[in-house]
Structure 1
Amino acid sequence: MQPFAAKLRAVLITSLLLASVTAMAAGGYQVYRTDSAFEDVLDGLKAAIQERGMYINNVMDMGVMLERTGKDLGTPDPIYAKAQSVEFCSAVLSRAMLQEDPTRIVNCPFIISVYERHDERGITYLVHRTIPMEERTASPIMARIATTYEELAESAIAW
Protein backbone atom coordinates (compact mmCIF):
# COMPACT_ATOMS: atom_id res chain seq x y z
CA MET A 1 0.00 0.00 0.00
CA GLN A 2 2.89 2.36 0.69
CA PRO A 3 4.25 2.33 -2.90
CA PHE A 4 0.79 3.22 -4.23
CA ALA A 5 0.49 6.15 -1.79
CA ALA A 6 3.94 7.40 -2.81
CA LYS A 7 3.03 7.18 -6.51
CA LEU A 8 -0.26 8.96 -5.91
CA ARG A 9 1.51 11.73 -4.01
CA ALA A 10 4.05 12.12 -6.84
CA VAL A 11 1.24 12.36 -9.41
CA LEU A 12 -0.57 14.98 -7.34
CA ILE A 13 2.58 17.07 -6.85
CA THR A 14 3.37 16.87 -10.57
CA SER A 15 -0.19 17.90 -11.42
CA LEU A 16 0.04 20.91 -9.12
CA LEU A 17 3.35 21.95 -10.65
CA LEU A 18 2.00 21.68 -14.16
CA ALA A 19 -1.11 23.63 -13.20
CA SER A 20 1.02 26.57 -12.05
CA VAL A 21 3.26 26.60 -15.13
CA THR A 22 2.32 27.72 -18.60
CA ALA A 23 4.68 27.29 -21.54
CA MET A 24 4.14 28.92 -24.88
CA ALA A 25 6.25 29.37 -27.99
CA ALA A 26 6.20 32.71 -29.73
CA GLY A 27 8.48 34.17 -32.38
CA GLY A 28 11.44 31.87 -31.86
CA TYR A 29 11.24 31.88 -28.08
CA GLN A 30 9.88 29.41 -25.56
CA VAL A 31 8.26 31.27 -22.69
CA TYR A 32 7.36 29.65 -19.37
CA ARG A 33 5.08 31.43 -16.89
CA THR A 34 4.85 30.39 -13.24
CA ASP A 35 3.76 31.72 -9.87
CA SER A 36 7.01 30.46 -8.34
CA ALA A 37 9.20 33.19 -6.84
CA PHE A 38 11.75 34.85 -9.13
CA GLU A 39 14.66 33.94 -6.84
CA ASP A 40 13.57 30.29 -6.68
CA VAL A 41 13.39 30.00 -10.48
CA LEU A 42 16.76 31.74 -10.91
CA ASP A 43 18.40 29.53 -8.27
CA GLY A 44 16.81 26.46 -9.86
CA LEU A 45 18.15 27.44 -13.27
CA LYS A 46 21.70 27.93 -11.98
CA ALA A 47 21.58 24.60 -10.15
CA ALA A 48 20.19 22.77 -13.19
CA ILE A 49 22.96 24.15 -15.41
CA GLN A 50 25.70 23.21 -12.96
CA GLU A 51 24.21 19.77 -12.21
CA ARG A 52 24.59 18.97 -15.92
CA GLY A 53 28.28 19.87 -15.83
CA MET A 54 27.90 23.11 -17.75
CA TYR A 55 29.70 26.33 -16.92
CA ILE A 56 27.92 29.61 -16.12
CA ASN A 57 29.89 32.36 -17.85
CA ASN A 58 27.91 35.32 -16.58
CA VAL A 59 24.68 36.38 -14.92
CA MET A 60 23.58 39.69 -16.35
CA ASP A 61 21.25 41.91 -14.34
CA MET A 62 19.16 43.09 -17.27
CA GLY A 63 16.60 44.81 -15.05
CA VAL A 64 19.14 47.17 -13.49
CA MET A 65 20.79 47.88 -16.84
CA LEU A 66 17.47 48.68 -18.53
CA GLU A 67 16.36 50.86 -15.63
CA ARG A 68 19.62 52.84 -15.81
CA THR A 69 19.62 53.24 -19.59
CA GLY A 70 15.91 54.05 -19.64
CA LYS A 71 16.54 57.08 -17.46
CA ASP A 72 19.45 58.13 -19.71
CA LEU A 73 17.25 57.79 -22.80
CA GLY A 74 14.28 59.64 -21.34
CA THR A 75 12.10 56.52 -21.06
CA PRO A 76 12.14 55.91 -17.32
CA ASP A 77 9.05 53.67 -17.13
CA PRO A 78 10.21 50.31 -15.76
CA ILE A 79 9.71 47.15 -17.79
CA TYR A 80 10.83 44.60 -15.21
CA ALA A 81 10.66 44.33 -11.45
CA LYS A 82 13.56 41.86 -11.76
CA ALA A 83 15.32 40.42 -14.80
CA GLN A 84 18.45 38.34 -15.13
CA SER A 85 19.95 36.49 -18.07
CA VAL A 86 22.17 33.50 -17.42
CA GLU A 87 24.70 32.75 -20.13
CA PHE A 88 26.30 29.36 -19.99
CA CYS A 89 28.32 26.95 -22.05
CA SER A 90 28.59 23.26 -22.69
CA ALA A 91 31.88 22.47 -24.38
CA VAL A 92 30.47 19.16 -25.63
CA LEU A 93 27.27 20.60 -27.11
CA SER A 94 28.90 23.74 -28.50
CA ARG A 95 31.76 21.88 -30.16
CA ALA A 96 29.46 19.34 -31.81
CA MET A 97 27.07 22.08 -32.94
CA LEU A 98 29.87 24.19 -34.46
CA GLN A 99 31.62 21.26 -36.12
CA GLU A 100 28.37 20.50 -37.88
CA ASP A 101 27.75 24.12 -38.92
CA PRO A 102 30.21 26.94 -38.05
CA THR A 103 27.54 29.63 -38.62
CA ARG A 104 25.83 28.43 -35.45
CA ILE A 105 28.41 30.39 -33.47
CA VAL A 106 25.58 32.89 -33.04
CA ASN A 107 24.05 30.39 -30.58
CA CYS A 108 27.08 30.61 -28.25
CA PRO A 109 26.85 31.19 -25.40
CA PHE A 110 23.50 29.65 -24.56
CA ILE A 111 21.25 32.10 -22.71
CA ILE A 112 18.16 31.63 -20.58
CA SER A 113 16.46 34.65 -19.01
CA VAL A 114 14.30 34.87 -15.91
CA TYR A 115 12.16 37.91 -15.23
CA GLU A 116 9.24 39.39 -13.38
CA ARG A 117 7.38 42.16 -15.17
CA HIS A 118 6.91 45.46 -13.40
CA ASP A 119 3.20 45.43 -14.20
CA GLU A 120 2.67 41.78 -13.25
CA ARG A 121 4.27 41.18 -9.86
CA GLY A 122 4.23 37.67 -8.46
CA ILE A 123 4.47 35.97 -11.86
CA THR A 124 7.89 34.77 -12.98
CA TYR A 125 8.78 34.18 -16.60
CA LEU A 126 11.59 32.08 -18.00
CA VAL A 127 12.47 32.34 -21.69
CA HIS A 128 14.95 30.74 -24.07
CA ARG A 129 15.45 30.53 -27.80
CA THR A 130 13.73 27.70 -29.60
CA ILE A 131 15.42 25.47 -32.12
CA PRO A 132 13.23 25.29 -35.24
CA MET A 133 11.65 21.87 -35.82
CA GLU A 134 13.32 21.45 -39.21
CA GLU A 135 16.72 21.93 -37.55
CA ARG A 136 15.84 19.47 -34.78
CA THR A 137 14.84 16.78 -37.27
CA ALA A 138 17.84 17.38 -39.55
CA SER A 139 20.45 17.52 -36.77
CA PRO A 140 20.74 15.22 -33.75
CA ILE A 141 22.94 17.77 -31.95
CA MET A 142 20.39 20.56 -32.43
CA ALA A 143 17.67 18.21 -31.17
CA ARG A 144 19.83 17.55 -28.11
CA ILE A 145 20.35 21.30 -27.54
CA ALA A 146 16.60 21.91 -27.84
CA THR A 147 15.96 19.16 -25.29
CA THR A 148 18.63 20.61 -22.98
CA TYR A 149 16.98 24.04 -23.06
CA GLU A 150 13.61 22.47 -22.25
CA GLU A 151 14.99 20.30 -19.44
CA LEU A 152 16.80 23.25 -17.87
CA ALA A 153 13.66 25.38 -17.98
CA GLU A 154 11.48 22.65 -16.48
CA SER A 155 14.04 21.96 -13.74
CA ALA A 156 14.29 25.66 -12.91
CA ILE A 157 10.55 26.05 -12.54
CA ALA A 158 10.21 22.87 -10.49
CA TRP A 159 12.99 23.97 -8.09
Structure 2
Amino acid sequence: MRFNFLTGLIFALSVGAAQAQDTSVVYPFDGSFDDATFGVETAIVGKGLVIDYVSHTGEMLERTAGDVGSDVKLFEAADIFVFCSAVLSRKMMEADPMNIAHCPYGIFVADREGEVMIGYRTYPEGPMQEVQALLDEIVREAVGE
Protein backbone atom coordinates (compact mmCIF):
# COMPACT_ATOMS: atom_id res chain seq x y z
CA MET A 1 0.00 0.00 0.00
CA ARG A 2 2.85 2.42 0.71
CA PHE A 3 4.23 1.83 -2.77
CA ASN A 4 0.85 2.68 -4.33
CA PHE A 5 0.52 5.78 -2.17
CA LEU A 6 4.04 6.93 -3.02
CA THR A 7 3.46 6.23 -6.71
CA GLY A 8 0.26 8.26 -6.55
CA LEU A 9 2.03 11.03 -4.69
CA ILE A 10 4.78 11.28 -7.29
CA PHE A 11 2.24 11.23 -10.11
CA ALA A 12 0.14 13.94 -8.50
CA LEU A 13 3.14 16.12 -7.85
CA SER A 14 4.31 15.77 -11.43
CA VAL A 15 1.09 17.32 -12.76
CA GLY A 16 1.54 20.35 -10.51
CA ALA A 17 -1.92 21.94 -10.64
CA ALA A 18 -4.46 21.96 -7.82
CA GLN A 19 -6.82 19.37 -9.20
CA ALA A 20 -8.30 16.00 -8.47
CA GLN A 21 -6.54 13.05 -10.07
CA ASP A 22 -7.47 9.40 -10.03
CA THR A 23 -5.21 8.81 -7.03
CA SER A 24 -4.80 12.12 -5.23
CA VAL A 25 -5.87 15.72 -4.77
CA VAL A 26 -3.16 18.39 -4.76
CA TYR A 27 -3.35 22.09 -3.85
CA PRO A 28 -0.57 24.62 -4.45
CA PHE A 29 0.74 26.40 -1.36
CA ASP A 30 1.84 30.03 -1.57
CA GLY A 31 4.74 29.99 0.85
CA SER A 32 7.65 27.95 2.10
CA PHE A 33 7.75 24.22 2.79
CA ASP A 34 8.17 24.95 6.52
CA ASP A 35 5.12 27.22 6.50
CA ALA A 36 3.12 24.53 4.70
CA THR A 37 4.09 21.82 7.19
CA PHE A 38 3.22 24.15 10.06
CA GLY A 39 -0.16 24.84 8.42
CA VAL A 40 -0.92 21.15 8.01
CA GLU A 41 0.13 20.31 11.56
CA THR A 42 -1.94 23.18 12.95
CA ALA A 43 -5.00 22.20 10.90
CA ILE A 44 -4.82 18.53 11.95
CA VAL A 45 -4.34 19.30 15.64
CA GLY A 46 -7.00 22.01 15.41
CA LYS A 47 -9.52 19.30 14.51
CA GLY A 48 -8.69 17.53 17.77
CA LEU A 49 -6.68 14.83 16.00
CA VAL A 50 -3.29 13.44 16.96
CA ILE A 51 -0.47 13.11 14.45
CA ASP A 52 0.87 9.58 14.88
CA TYR A 53 3.92 9.98 12.68
CA VAL A 54 5.59 12.32 10.21
CA SER A 55 7.27 10.41 7.41
CA HIS A 56 10.21 12.37 6.01
CA THR A 57 9.76 10.79 2.59
CA GLY A 58 11.83 13.39 0.73
CA GLU A 59 14.83 12.76 2.98
CA MET A 60 14.47 8.99 2.53
CA LEU A 61 14.31 9.27 -1.25
CA GLU A 62 17.36 11.52 -1.33
CA ARG A 63 19.31 9.31 1.07
CA THR A 64 18.57 6.11 -0.85
CA ALA A 65 18.83 7.41 -4.43
CA GLY A 66 22.35 6.09 -4.93
CA ASP A 67 21.44 2.75 -3.36
CA VAL A 68 18.81 2.16 -6.05
CA GLY A 69 20.96 3.49 -8.89
CA SER A 70 19.28 6.87 -9.35
CA ASP A 71 20.60 10.41 -9.46
CA VAL A 72 17.17 12.02 -9.86
CA LYS A 73 16.22 14.56 -7.19
CA LEU A 74 12.46 14.23 -6.83
CA PHE A 75 11.81 16.79 -4.09
CA GLU A 76 13.55 19.60 -2.29
CA ALA A 77 11.55 18.36 0.71
CA ALA A 78 8.56 16.04 1.24
CA ASP A 79 6.79 14.96 4.42
CA ILE A 80 3.67 12.88 4.99
CA PHE A 81 1.61 13.49 8.13
CA VAL A 82 -0.02 10.24 9.30
CA PHE A 83 -3.00 10.38 11.64
CA CYS A 84 -6.41 8.90 12.32
CA SER A 85 -9.80 9.84 13.67
CA ALA A 86 -11.24 7.35 16.14
CA VAL A 87 -14.75 8.61 15.41
CA LEU A 88 -14.51 8.41 11.61
CA SER A 89 -12.45 5.23 11.57
CA ARG A 90 -14.99 3.41 13.72
CA LYS A 91 -17.84 4.71 11.57
CA MET A 92 -16.08 3.67 8.34
CA MET A 93 -15.20 0.21 9.67
CA GLU A 94 -18.66 -0.39 11.08
CA ALA A 95 -19.94 0.32 7.56
CA ASP A 96 -17.37 -2.13 6.15
CA PRO A 97 -14.63 -3.70 8.28
CA MET A 98 -12.40 -3.87 5.18
CA ASN A 99 -12.16 -0.07 5.26
CA ILE A 100 -9.28 -0.84 7.61
CA ALA A 101 -7.21 -0.80 4.41
CA HIS A 102 -7.64 3.00 4.28
CA CYS A 103 -6.44 3.69 7.80
CA PRO A 104 -4.45 5.65 8.88
CA TYR A 105 -4.93 8.79 6.80
CA GLY A 106 -2.13 10.82 5.29
CA ILE A 107 -1.61 14.38 4.11
CA PHE A 108 1.57 15.20 2.24
CA VAL A 109 3.53 18.41 1.86
CA ALA A 110 6.12 18.58 -0.88
CA ASP A 111 8.47 21.09 -2.45
CA ARG A 112 9.30 20.22 -6.03
CA GLU A 113 11.58 22.66 -7.81
CA GLY A 114 10.41 25.54 -5.63
CA GLU A 115 6.69 24.77 -5.94
CA VAL A 116 5.17 23.81 -2.60
CA MET A 117 2.02 21.70 -2.58
CA ILE A 118 -0.24 19.95 -0.10
CA GLY A 119 -2.44 16.97 -0.86
CA TYR A 120 -3.90 13.61 0.00
CA ARG A 121 -4.88 10.38 -1.72
CA THR A 122 -8.45 9.88 -2.84
CA TYR A 123 -10.79 7.32 -1.33
CA PRO A 124 -13.47 5.11 -2.89
CA GLU A 125 -17.07 6.17 -3.27
CA GLY A 126 -19.33 5.44 -0.34
CA PRO A 127 -18.60 5.84 3.37
CA MET A 128 -14.92 6.73 2.83
CA GLN A 129 -15.98 9.99 1.19
CA GLU A 130 -16.59 11.35 4.69
CA VAL A 131 -12.90 10.82 5.43
CA GLN A 132 -11.95 12.43 2.13
CA ALA A 133 -14.10 15.44 3.02
CA LEU A 134 -12.23 15.77 6.32
CA LEU A 135 -8.86 15.60 4.54
CA ASP A 136 -9.99 18.21 2.03
CA GLU A 137 -11.16 20.49 4.84
CA ILE A 138 -7.80 20.16 6.61
CA VAL A 139 -5.81 20.80 3.42
CA ARG A 140 -7.93 23.79 2.42
CA GLU A 141 -7.40 25.27 5.87
CA ALA A 142 -3.65 24.70 5.58
CA VAL A 143 -3.47 26.43 2.19
CA GLY A 144 -5.54 29.34 3.46
CA GLU A 145 -8.84 28.73 1.64
TM range (shorter): 0.7 to 0.9
Is 2:21 the partner of 1:26? yes
What root-mean-square deviation, in Å, do the aligned CA atoms of Structure 1 and Structure 2 show?
A: 1.5
**Which residue of structure 1 lines up, in the alignment, with residue 116 of structure 2?**
124
- Cα displacement (A) at 1:28: 2.1
CA distance in 2, matches of 1:35, 1:41: 8
Does the aligned pair in 2 maintain the 1:85–1:112 contact within 8 Å?
A: yes
Q: TM-score, normalised by structure 2?
A: 0.82
CA distance in 2, matches of 1:144, 1:77: 37
Match 1:63 to one of 58, 63, 87: 58
Over the matched positions of the two proteins, sequence identity in percent amounts to 36
Higher helix share: 1
Match of residue 18 from structure 1: none
How far apart are the structure 1 equivalents of 2:120 and 2:55?
15
- TM-superposed deviation, 1:77: 1.8
Runs of at least 5 residues in structure 2 that lack an aligned partner in the other structure: 1-16
Match in the other structure for 2:73: 78
Aligned residues: 129
| Gap runs ≥5 in structure 1 | 1-21
Contact kept, 8 Å, 1:36 with 1:157, in 2: the verdict is no
**Aligned equivalent of 1:115, options 110, 117, 124:** 110
Structure 1 residue 144 displacement after superposition: 2.4
* Separation in structure 1 between the aligned mates of residue 98 and residue 129 of structure 2, nearest angstrom: 17
TM superposition score normalised by structure 1: 0.76
Runs of 4+ with >3 A deviation: none
Q: Specify the alignment match of 2:84 in structure 1.
A: 89
- 8 Å CA contact 1:54–1:90 kept in 2: the answer is yes
